[in-house]
Amino acid sequence: MQKTKTTTPAALVVAACLSGSASAAGLADVTGTYSVTFQPMTTGGQLKGCSLVYNVLMLDYVYQSGSPVLAVGNITYNQTDQHAGLSLKLGLTNILASDRVTVPPHYAFIKTKNGTTAGAKFVAYDSDVSGYRVFVYQLTDKSANVIGDLLDGENPTIGFNRNEKGVDATFQIDLTVEDTKETSPGRLQHKRSTAAVEGFAACFSELASALR
C-alpha cells in the first residue's frame, strides 16, 4: 500500500516551483482548504468559546498578482455570563516571497448562505501571534445567521482587504476537510469528516445551555 505524508501548502507550492511546474494551472490544483479542526476555548477549566481553526491556500489575484497565499486563522463563538460574540482571526502569508512574512489584513469579514458580518460594528486588534489580526463583530441578525449556518455545516467565505478602501479578496473554507496529505508530487488527498462541525455544534449547545 502506498504511503502518504502530511504536507503544508507552503512546502507543496515551493516544491512545485523548484521543479518548474508552478504554472497558474498547476498552482490552482493545490489551492483550497487543507484542514479545519474544532478547538474548545477554556478559562480556568471552564468552557468559554468554540473555535473552528482553518488552513487554506488561495491564489490572490487582487493584491498579489495571483501568487499563492496561505490564509490561517479561526472563526470563534465566545460567551461570557452576560454576552456572546463572534470573531475572526486571520493571517496571510505569500509563500513564494523570500521572507514569507505573515501579515494581517486591514479588514476582514465572514459571509455564509444566510448571513454576514460585513457591515456589523466591530473591534479589531493585533493577535499576540505576530502577523495576525482579530476582528470581533457585534451580533446582529445577519451576523447571528452566520453562526446558524456554521452549525448547519454551511461553508463560510472569508473576505478581506489589505488597505483602507481596498477591493475585497475572498476564499472559501470547506468545513469537511479535516486534513490533507500528498500522495505523490502535486497530488493531494483530502481526509473528509464532519468532526469539526459536530464539535462546534456540541460546544455551542453547551454554552447556550449555560445562558438559559
Domain regions of the chain by residue span = 38-178+193-211
Task: Say how far apart CA 21 and CA 181 lie, in whole Å.
Answer: 19
Q: How far apart are CA 11 and CA 29, in angstroms?
A: 14
Scan for cell 513564494, then name that residue: 96
Q: What are phi and psi of 20, to 5 degrees?
A: 80, 15
pLDDT per residue, tens digit, the chain (212 aa), is 444 455 566 665 665 555 545 566 667 778 899 999 999 999 999 999 999 999 999 999 999 999 889 999 999 999 876 788 999 999 999 988 888 899 999 999 999 999 999 999 999 999 999 999 999 999 999 999 999 999 999 999 999 999 998 999 999 999 999 998 877 766 778 899 999 999 999 999 999 887 76
Cell of 184: 505523490
